[in-house]
């Protein structure tokens, strides 16, 4: 990791610990209920990395539950459980609000890594192992409907995940009392270790696959946008869906591992939540 990233990571870790402690004290007195959500979604999409095969369709479970100030969630479940409440991050998370317009979130989440075993052109490249990432994010309201967000997350187990940064703007449109639409635009960046692990080819990898080595440093990884909706189907049921798109850019886009520059993900689902 570049030298400049080490003090930033230490600062983020210390700040995150302070935010967690503050959030626990602040929220413990008001979040007494045990809250939960369970549901499923159908997702059609593809990936930047790998051979240019068609999109795949998968059935994915989602769930979330809350114990006092802490919430544990998978995928979009946290946002669905938070409709009309404080929004928390995916994974194990808590929130701290230093001002009315600013919220800070600290979370831990599982990163499942990546395998090339099913890709005939890339088989032999080293897998990216499963790891745990620590994430610190901030969201600031820019008005009744607009908001700006920024986040950083880091591989805690040292498995090549490196450091990522993200930033974007969001527009939330309450179509009715029961239905919310939101539109987002953003960008993602990575440090040299993250970019090399996900888009580079080492000497060992080149020898295993017969490809040339590919080295790259930190920088801009992608531009992305999305439109999503959620609508209440009664006191407990929630339907949701949306379209997410991503365009890989810069040196990452020229990587031999990249099979397509633009990707999409279409989601539709339903969930049951406690009140």
Given this model, what pLDDT does residue 25 score?
38
Greater model confidence, 55 or 249: 249
Burial (0-12, 13-18, 19+ Cβ within 10 Å), 260: middle
Task: Tell me the pLDDT tens digit for each residue of 15-42.
Answer: 444 444 444 434 443 444 568 889 999 9
Task: Tell me which H or E stretch contains 207.
Answer: helix 203-209
Task: Tell me the pLDDT tens digit for each residue of 96-109.
Answer: 777 888 988 888 88
Given this model, what pLDDT does residue 32 score?
41
Q: Could you tell me the CA-to-CA distances from 195 to 147, 187, 236, 253, 255 in Å, in that order?
A: 28, 15, 42, 11, 10
Which stretch of 17-21, 97-101, 135-139, 271-275 has the lowest confidence by average pLDDT?
Answer: 17-21
Does the predicted model carry a pTM greater than 0.85? no
Greater model confidence, 62 or 80: 62
Enumerate domains of the chain plus CATH numbers: 5-273 (2.40.230)
Task: Tell me the pLDDT tens digit for each residue of 176-221.
Answer: 888 999 999 999 999 999 999 999 999 988 888 888 899 999 999 9
């Amino acid at each position: 990791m570049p030298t400049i990233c080490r003090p930033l990571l230490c600062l983020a870790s210390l700040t995150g610990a302070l935010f967690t402690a503050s959030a626990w004290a602040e929220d413990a007195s008001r979040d007494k209920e045990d809250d939960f959500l369970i549901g499923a979604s159908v997702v059609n999409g593809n990936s930047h990395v790998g051979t240019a095969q068609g999109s795949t369709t998968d059935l994915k479970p989602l769930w979330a539950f809350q114990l006092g100030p802490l919430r544990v969630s998978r995928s979009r479940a946290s946002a669905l459980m938070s409709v009309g409440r404080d929004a928390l991050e995916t994974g194990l998370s808590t929130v701290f609000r230093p001002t009315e317009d600013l919220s800070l979130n600290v979370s831990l989440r599982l990163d499942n890594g990546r395998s090339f075993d099913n890709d005939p052109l890339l088989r032999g490249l080293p897998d990216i192992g499963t790891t745990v990432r620590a994430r610190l994010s901030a969201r600031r309201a820019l008005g009744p409907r607009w908001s700006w967000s920024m986040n950083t997350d880091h591989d805690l187990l040292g498995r090549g995940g490196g450091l990522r940064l993200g930033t974007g703007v969001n527009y939330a449109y309450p179509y009715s009392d029961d239905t919310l639409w939101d539109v987002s635009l953003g960008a993602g960046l990575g440090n040299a270790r993250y970019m090399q692990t996900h888009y580079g080819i080492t000497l060992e990898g080149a020898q295993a696959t017969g490809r040339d080595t590919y080295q790259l440093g930190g920088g801009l990884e992608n531009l992305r946008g999305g439109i999503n909706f959620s609508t209440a189907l009664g006191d407990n049921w929630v339907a949701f869906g949306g379209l997410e798109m991503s365009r890989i850019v810069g040196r990452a886009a020229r990587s031999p591992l990249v099979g397509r520059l633009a990707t999409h993900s279409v989601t539709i689902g339903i969930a049951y939540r406690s009140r």
